Amino acid sequence: MMIKGEDISVLGGGIGGLAVAVALALRGASVRVLEQAPVLSEIGAGLQVSPNGVAVLDALGLGDEARALAVHGRAVCLRDGTSGRQVMRLDLARWAPDQTYLYFHRADLVSLLEKAARAAGVMFELGRRIDQVTETSAGYRLSSAGGHSDNVGLLIGADGLHSRLRPVLNGAETPFFTGQTAWRALVPAQGNEPAEAVVHMGKRRHMVSYPLRGGKLINIVAVAERQQWSAEGWNLAGDPLALRQCFDAFRGPAQALLAQVEEVSYWGLFRHPVAASWYGNNAALVGDAAHPTLPFLAQGANMALEDAWVLADCLERYEREEALPRYQQMRRTRVVRVIEAANSNAQNYHLSGPKKLAAHAALRLGGALAPRHVLSRFDWIYRHDVTRG
C-alpha cells in the first residue's frame, strides 16, 4: 500500500482524470481534482466504451451502474454511404456474446465517475484553471491567472490535448492538424433503430451513428478530410447546412439522420505524437495529455480508462521510482499500436474508385463467410484486460 494516505493532485476532470482519481482514492490515497470547468459533465455527445474500457469500469465497481446507463451495442454495421447499402454487419451478440459494448452520453459517464469519486472521498476544485505548471525541488507549483498558486507533491496530468504538464515533462510542442475535421450532433431517434454502431463510408469522409440514452437519441460523428484549419479555434459552433452539403452524396439512413440535424459542433482534429516521456520525478500523464488519438477506433476514452487503472495499480504496488517507469512501459507500446490502427481506419473508411470496390468486396465476403475471424482481428484491443495485471 505505497499510496495509502498520500496527497495526490489530478489536473483535469475528464474521463481519464476522474477514473484515476477513483482508482487512487479506492486504494487509500487522498486525492484532489482541479478542473477548469465550473461544473463537470455538460460537454460532449456520445462515447463508445468497448470491453477493454468496461473491464476498468467493472474493476472500479461501476459495472452495474454503467450497464444501466448505457445502450448495449449488439452489432457493428458498415455501409456504403453513397448508396446507403450495407457492406458488412458483424453481429456482436452472436459472435462475441461474452463482450460488453456500451454507448454512453459522455455526460452520463462523467457523472457516474464523479459520483464514485466523491463517494470515495475525492475533493474537487471546480472552476480552477491552471495556467502554468512549474517543477520545484519538492514537486510542482500550479499557478492560475490572478496569482493563485499552490505547491503539490504527486501530480497527475489528465488535462487533455493542451496539457500544461506535458511540456514540463517533454519540452514545448505544438499540436498538428491531422487533415481531418469532425462534426458531432445528437438527433431524436425514431424509436426502431437497432442498438448498433453504423459506419457510413464515403470518398474522403465517413459518418458514425449509434443510439444513446435508452435509444431516444442518435449520436452522429461525421468526419471529412480538409486541407487546412484556420487558427481561430479548435471547437466551433458548426453549421448543419455545411454538414449536409459536405455529405450531400450520402443516401439512405445517413441522409435521413443528417436531415434532422439542427445543432452541431465542429472540430479540427489535432494531435501530438505520443509523448516520449509519460512521467517525471513526481508526476505522470494519462489519457489525451500523453497520447491524443483520432476517434476512428473509438479508443481515446478507453485508453484513458486503461491508463488510469494501470497508473493507480503501479503506484500502489511499487515505490515511486519504480512505479512511474513501469506505468509507461506497460502502456506506451499498446497505445502507439492502437493509435496507428485508428489512423489506418481513417484511410479504409475514406476509399473511392477501384480501391473502394475491392475493399468492400473483401469486407462483404469476410462478413458473410468468417465473421468470427473478422472480429478476432480486434481481439488485441477489445479482449485486453488491464485489470488482470
Ligand X SMILES: Cc1cc2nc3c(=O)[nH]c(=O)nc-3n(C[C@H](O)[C@H](O)[C@H](O)COP(=O)(O)OP(=O)(O)OC[C@H]3O[C@@H](n4cnc5c(N)ncnc54)[C@H](O)[C@@H]3O)c2cc1C
Name the residues that contact ligand X, by CB under 6 A: 11-17, 34-37, 47-48, 129-130, 158-160, 162, 164, 182, 184, 221, 267, 287-289, 295, 298-302, 304
Q: Which is closer to ligand X, CB of 250 or CB of 267?
A: 267
Residue 355 CB, shortest distance to ligand X, in Å, is: 25
Q: Which is closer to ligand X, CB of 29 or CB of 102?
A: 102
Residue 95 CB, shortest distance to ligand X, in Å, is: 21
Residue 249 CB, shortest distance to ligand X, in Å, is: 21
Residue 357 CB, shortest distance to ligand X, in Å, is: 28
CA distances from 28 to 25, 141, 201, 295, 318 (A): 5, 24, 47, 34, 15
Query: Are 389 and 104 contacting, i.e. CB atoms less than 8 angstroms apart?
Result: no
Residue 364 CB, shortest distance to ligand X, in Å, is: 25
Residue carrying the nine cell digits 455538460: 42
Residue 197 CB, shortest distance to ligand X, in Å, is: 9
236, amino acid identity: L
Residues 31, 124: Cα–Cα separation, whole Å: 9
Residues 389, 376: Cα–Cα separation, whole Å: 22
Query: Are 285 and 169 contacting, i.e. CB atoms less than 8 angstroms apart?
Result: yes
Grid coordinates representing 321 are 521510482
Q: β-strand 71-72 against 7-11: which pairing, if any?
A: unpaired
Q: Which is closer to ligand X, CB of 35 or CB of 313?
A: 35
Q: What is the DSSP code string of 122-167?
A: -EEEET----EEEE-SSSEEEE-TTS-EEEESEEEE---TT-SSHH
CA distances from 345 to 19, 29, 205 (A): 27, 39, 12
Q: Which is closer to ligand X, CB of 40 or CB of 360?
A: 40
Residue 230 CB, shortest distance to ligand X, in Å, is: 18
Residue 82 CB, shortest distance to ligand X, in Å, is: 22
Q: Which is closer to ligand X, CB of 3 or CB of 156?
A: 156
Residues 382, 96: Cα–Cα separation, whole Å: 11
Q: Which is closer to ligand X, CB of 56 or CB of 356?
A: 56
Grid coordinates representing 10 are 489530478
Q: Which is closer to ligand X, CB of 167 or CB of 252?
A: 167
CB neighbours of residue 220 within 10 Å: 24
Q: Which is closer to ligand X, CB of 107 or CB of 330?
A: 107
Query: Are 180 and 207 contacting, i.e. CB atoms less than 8 angstroms apart?
Result: no
Q: Which is closer to ligand X, CB of 168 or CB of 360?
A: 168
Residues 17, 33: Cα–Cα separation, whole Å: 7
Residues 113, 198: Cα–Cα separation, whole Å: 27
Residues 124, 116: Cα–Cα separation, whole Å: 12
Query: Are 3 and 316 contacting, i.e. CB atoms less than 8 angstroms apart?
Result: yes
